[in-house]
């Protein structure tokens, strides 16, 4: 069975996230985003690739939306209302609450301001949202008989989630956007360790490693504090959701701690509604907010007041949050015009600004004049502080997550191609996990875990429920590599035990000692094992149900006698010319040779019991006899130079004594008995 992963968007790019995954026959669409950079057909994913007949309802089991950003949800109304998808849509509660606001806001901008033909109407949005089924964190949803999904906390924005999906034994996780380090208002992504066939992860910062957030916070607080301490005004243009709350908590907390009395303002339109949502959705915020909210809701900012337009020119220091974030217009531009000319004041800029906005102009170089339009020119004297907060995880975080989950395959989406290639190489080389970075409209197929239903015998069940551990003492002189041991051990049972194949060899000395000190243990000398499951044997017969039986039952089942596998070898050995024994018959010559060998081996293997039974020698399970057959199937060479002075010896042994056997053979090979 396979998992097919069709990337409709965000393949080797950022924008219009949309991945359609087929697991054991079930088809799920993860995210349904739009690309903000395009205005033509490329803005939406090419849905026709899912189904040529455009019968989405039958081919898709469900649609899952990870969070409310437009590049993850923007195409949803189009897909449901225009393309006609009617099946279930899953998203978290906060996403469901905030998505219509985002979509409507976007639609207005598109239609009202830019005068484009509308792709979907307000009614479409409302109709679309009616199909949404909200899910809570860690709540397992049975979409249909076979398909299970579960949401995990992802950080990033309010309500963002990673989704786990499982069909039969094949399981996968789609991360959406996530953040592995917490910020002041949202927690870090959190997920359980699971057996996964596939992990699809974002890779926005595939090669960046960010420094501690403390540094960023410190710089920000220092800049703001210095500014207000010298009587200046601070303008913080932000987007209404997310960064505004983050910075506001940071400042509010600092104000509280440092006993500062300088006012912090929120411009009216901004965040009143957003803060309300945050206050309601406390369980989706960071640990600190959750812990303290019984005494005080962190979003009831103590030092924050509403701003009135008349206060723009009021004297004295203050801090003001205003929309929009990139100073592209609106209130933040209005305030910027008044405050920019003073050297005392400070303007902070978000991490990213679209080209053409004032924010972008301020970021590039340090202009002293900015032309607003033909007639107006702003004199910029104020200080500028660039913020470096980002809600995406860095490459270390991606690696950490992949390492923690240790899936069998990784697919990277939502990133820039060259960086993704680097990350892909790292995942492959450092973690030993095959990794893919498909482009848009490409399909990646990977094999998935297949489950077989099998009956089991009562003896096996009984043996499974009883502990049965053993201690294995490993002889350090054995050259059996520990790797071989473990693979042997796991051979029969890989189907049943949930053995983790961890690519990191946790004990670093395993591989070292080969080269250096061989007396250093290769793993512990003593190992503990519990074979209760390993003792099971899978029996598949034609026309009968598959069955698992205990190993002791097998012979009974097959109606066979016990048999063992023996290894055999037949090599020549030289005994030197035996003049005085030349007359001896064949039989007595054999017994003489055997007794010679017997004494030889006894002296070499002082710790073993070498028995001579006349016909053959025995050491443990190893037996040796003189082979007088014309052609022996185990013979390694057929040529003997001197018939009277040499003979073939035939030996066989059980697998357990393999080392011993080869030791004896090498003794015999090395030693020319004729010399004694």
Partner 1 sequence: MAERDSELVSAINELDDRSFLSLCFGPSVSIRIWLLKNAESFQIRPSLLLTVFLGFTKDPYPYVRKAALDGLAGLGITVVEDGSMIECCYFRAIELLNDVEDCVRSAAVRVVITWGLMLAAHSPERKQHFSDEIFANLCSMTRDMSMEVRSNAFVAIKRLEIVSEDLLLQSMSKRVLSIFKGKKSLVQCYTEQLEMLALDVAGAFVHGVEDEFHQVRKSACDALFNLIILSTKFSGEALSLLMDVLNDDSVSVRLQALETLHHMAISNCLQLQEAHMHMFLSALSDNNGHVRSALRKLLKLAKLPDLGTFQLSFNGLVESLESYPQDESDVLSVLFHMGQNHVNMVASIITDVFEQIDPASEGKLGFDSVKVMAYIVLAISAPVLDTHSLRIPPRIFSYAATLLGRISHALGDIMDQSTIFAYLLQNSKNTGLSDLGFNPEGVPCSLTPGSYVNDILAIASPKTPAMIHEKQHKDDDAIESIKTILSKVQDIWPLIQSGFLHEILRNLRVFKEALEVFTYQIDKYSGALAFTLQYLKIMKLVAKVWNLMSSKHSCRIGEWESLLGKLEKGLKGLRSRFIGFSKEEERHILELMLVTSALRLANGEICCHLTIMRKLSMIASNIEHLLKEECIEPSTFVCEVQRSLSKLGAITPKASCYSLDFRKLLKTFTLNHLEISKKLKHVKAELVIPDNDYEKPLYFVPGLPVGILCQIILHNVSSERKLWFRITMDNTTSQFIFLDFLPLGGGCDEVREFTYTVPFYRTPKASSFIARICIGLECWFESDEVNERRGGPKRDLAYICKEKEVYLSMIHNS
For partner 1, the binding residues (CB under 8 A) are 181-182, 184, 187-188, 190-195, 209-215, 217-218, 221-222, 253-254, 256-259, 286-288, 394, 396, 399-400, 403-404, 430, 462, 464-467, 469, 471, 473, 498, 500, 502, 504, 506-509, 511-512, 515, 521, 523-530, 532-533
Q: How many of the other CB atoms lie within 10 Å of CB of 369?
A: 8
> What is the SS3 string spanning 493-533?
CCCCCCCCCCCCCCCCHHHHHHHCCCCCCCCCCEEEEECCC
Q: Which is nearer to partner 1, 33 or 407 (CB)?
A: 407
CB of 198 to partner 1, least distance (A): 18
Q: Which residues contact 280 (CB under 8 A, 6 or more apart)?
A: none
CB of 567 to partner 1, least distance (A): 30
Nearest to 82 by CA among 127, 49, 36, 19: 127
Yes or no: say if 639 and 571 are a contact pair by the CB < 8 Å rule: no
Nearest to 185 by CA among 306, 324, 297: 297
Yes or no: say if 436 and 409 are a contact pair by the CB < 8 Å rule: yes
To which residue do tokens 């509660």 refer?
A: 93
CB of 488 to partner 1, least distance (A): 17
Q: First vs last Cα of the chain: how many Å apart?
A: 65
Q: Which is nearer to partner 1, 136 or 430 (CB)?
A: 430
Residues in the chain: 676
Q: Which is nearer to partner 1, 254 or 616 (CB)?
A: 254
Q: Which is nearer to partner 1, 506 or 563 (CB)?
A: 506
Nearest to 179 by CA among 285, 254, 65: 285
Q: Which is nearer to partner 1, 72 or 408 (CB)?
A: 408
Q: Is residue 202 flagged as an active site residue? A: yes
Q: Which is nearer to partner 1, 34 or 234 (CB)?
A: 234
Q: Which is nearer to partner 1, 460 or 593 (CB)?
A: 460
Q: Which is nearer to partner 1, 89 or 162 (CB)?
A: 162
Distance (Å, whole) CA 48 – CA 299: 44
Q: What is the DSSP letter of 52?
A: T
Listed in sequence order, the DSSP H helices in 383-495 are 395-405, 417-431, 458-465, 482-491
Nearest to 67 by CA among 182, 186, 166: 186
- In the set 81, 202, 246, 553, the catalytic residue is 202
CB of 316 to partner 1, least distance (A): 19
Distance (Å, whole) CA 16 – CA 43: 7
Distance, C-alpha 26 to centroid of its chain: 22
538 strand-pairing partners: 548
Q: Which is nearer to partner 1, 127 or 400 (CB)?
A: 400
CA distances from 485 to 138, 184, 498, 505 (A): 38, 49, 18, 15
CA distances from 254 to 260, 350, 530 (A): 8, 20, 56
CB of 223 to partner 1, least distance (A): 11
Q: Which is nearer to partner 1, 108 or 507 (CB)?
A: 507
Distance (Å, whole) CA 417 – CA 436: 11
Burial class (CB in 10 A: 0-12, 13-18, 19+), 321: buried
The H or E element that residue 626 is part of is: strand 622-627
CB of 14 to partner 1, least distance (A): 23
Distance (Å, whole) CA 353 – CA 477: 66
Distance (Å, whole) CA 78 – CA 119: 7
Q: How many of the other CB atoms lie within 10 Å of CB of 135?
A: 21
Distance (Å, whole) CA 300 – CA 509: 55
CB of 203 to partner 1, least distance (A): 17
CB of 535 to partner 1, least distance (A): 13
Q: Which is nearer to partner 1, 424 or 532 (CB)?
A: 532
Q: How many of the other CB atoms lie within 10 Å of CB of 491?
A: 9
Yes or no: say if 205 and 393 are a contact pair by the CB < 8 Å rule: yes
CB of 390 to partner 1, least distance (A): 14
Distance (Å, whole) CA 64 – CA 151: 10
Yes or no: say if 447 and 2 are a contact pair by the CB < 8 Å rule: yes
CB of 188 to partner 1, least distance (A): 5
CB of 13 to partner 1, least distance (A): 26
Q: Which residues contact 358 (CB under 8 A, 6 or more apart)?
A: 326, 327, 328, 333, 336, 370, 372
The set of catalytic residues is 202
């Amino acid at each position: 069975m396979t998992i097919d992963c069709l990337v409709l968007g965000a393949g080797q790019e950022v924008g219009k996230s949309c991945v359609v995954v087929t697991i054991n026959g079930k088809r799920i669409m993860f995210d349904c985003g739009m690309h903000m950079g395009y205005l033509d057909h490329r803005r939406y994913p090419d849905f026709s690739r899912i189904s040529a007949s455009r019968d989405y309802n039958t081919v898709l089991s469900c649609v899952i939306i990870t969070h409310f950003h437009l590049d993850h949800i923007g195409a949803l109304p189009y897909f449901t209302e225009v393309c006609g998808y009617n099946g279930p849509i899953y998203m978290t509660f906060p996403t469901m609450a905030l998505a219509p606001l985002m979509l409507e806001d976007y639609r207005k901008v598109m239609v009202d301001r830019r005068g484009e033909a509308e792709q979907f109407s307000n009614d479409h949005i409302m109709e679309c949202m009616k199909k949404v089924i909200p899910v809570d964190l860690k709540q397992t949803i049975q979409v249909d008989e076979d398909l299970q999904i579960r949401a995990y906390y992802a950080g990033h924005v309010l309500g963002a989630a990673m989704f786990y999906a499982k069909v039969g034994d094949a399981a996968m996780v789609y991360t959406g956007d996530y953040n592995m380090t917490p910020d002041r208002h949202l927690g870090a992504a959190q997920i359980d360790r699971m057996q996964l066939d596939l992990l699809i992860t974002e890779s926005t910062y595939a090669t960046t490693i960010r420094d501690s957030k403390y540094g960023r916070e410190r710089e920000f607080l220092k800049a703001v504090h210095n500014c207000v301490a010298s009587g200046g005004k601070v303008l913080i243009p932000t987007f209404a959701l997310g960064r505004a709350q983050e910075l506001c908590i940071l400042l509010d907390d600092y104000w509280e701690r440092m006993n500062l009395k300088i006012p912090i303002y929120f411009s009216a339109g901004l965040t009143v509604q957003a803060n309300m949502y945050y206050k309601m959705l406390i369980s989706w915020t960071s640990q600190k907010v959750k812990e303290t909210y019984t005494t005080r809701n962190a979003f009831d900012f103590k030092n924050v007041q509403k701003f009135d337009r008349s206060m723009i020119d009021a004297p004295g220091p203050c801090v003001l949050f205003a929309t929009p974030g990139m100073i592209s217009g609106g209130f933040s531009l209005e305030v910027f015009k008044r405050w920019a000319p003073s050297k005392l004041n400070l303007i902070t800029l978000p991490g990213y600004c679209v080209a053409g906005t004032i924010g972008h102009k301020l970021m590039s170089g340090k202009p002293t004049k900015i032309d607003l339009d033909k007639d107006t020119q702003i004199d910029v004297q104020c200080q500028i502080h660039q913020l470096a907060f980002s809600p995406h995880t860095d490459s270390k975080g991606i690696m950490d997550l992949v390492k923690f989950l240790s899936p069998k395959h990784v697919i990277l989406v939502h990133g820039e191609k060259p960086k993704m290639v680097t990350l892909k190489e790292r995942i492959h080389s450092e973690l030993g996990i095959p990794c893919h970075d498909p482009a848009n409209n490409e399909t990646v197929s990977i094999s998935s875990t297949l489950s077989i239903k099998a009956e089991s015998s009562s003896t096996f069940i009984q043996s499974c429920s009883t502990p049965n551990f053993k201690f294995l003492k490993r002889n350090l002189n054995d050259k059996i590599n520990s790797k071989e041991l473990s693979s042997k051990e796991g051979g029969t049972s890989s189907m049943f035990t949930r053995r983790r194949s961890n690519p990191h060899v946790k004990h670093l000395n395993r591989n070292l000692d080969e080269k250096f000190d061989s007396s250093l243990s290769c793993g512990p000398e003593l190992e503990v094992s519990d074979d209760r499951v390993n003792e099971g044997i899978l029996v598949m017969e034609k026309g009968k149900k598959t069955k698992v039986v205990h190993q002791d039952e097998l012979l009974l089942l097959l109606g066979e006698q016990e048999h063992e596998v023996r290894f055999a070898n037949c090599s020549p050995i030289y005994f030197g010319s035996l003049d005085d024994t030349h007359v001896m018959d064949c039989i007595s010559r054999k017994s003489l040779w055997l007794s010679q060998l017997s004494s030889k081996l006894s002296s070499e293997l002082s710790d073993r019991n070498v028995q001579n039974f006349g016909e053959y020698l025995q050491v443990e399970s190893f037996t040796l006899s003189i082979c007088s057959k014309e052609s022996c199937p185990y013979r390694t060479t057929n040529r003997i130079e001197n018939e009277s002075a040499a003979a073939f010896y035939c030996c066989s042994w059980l697998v357990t004594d393999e080392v011993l056997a080869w030791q004896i053979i090498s003794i015999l090979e090395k030693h020319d008995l004729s010399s004694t």
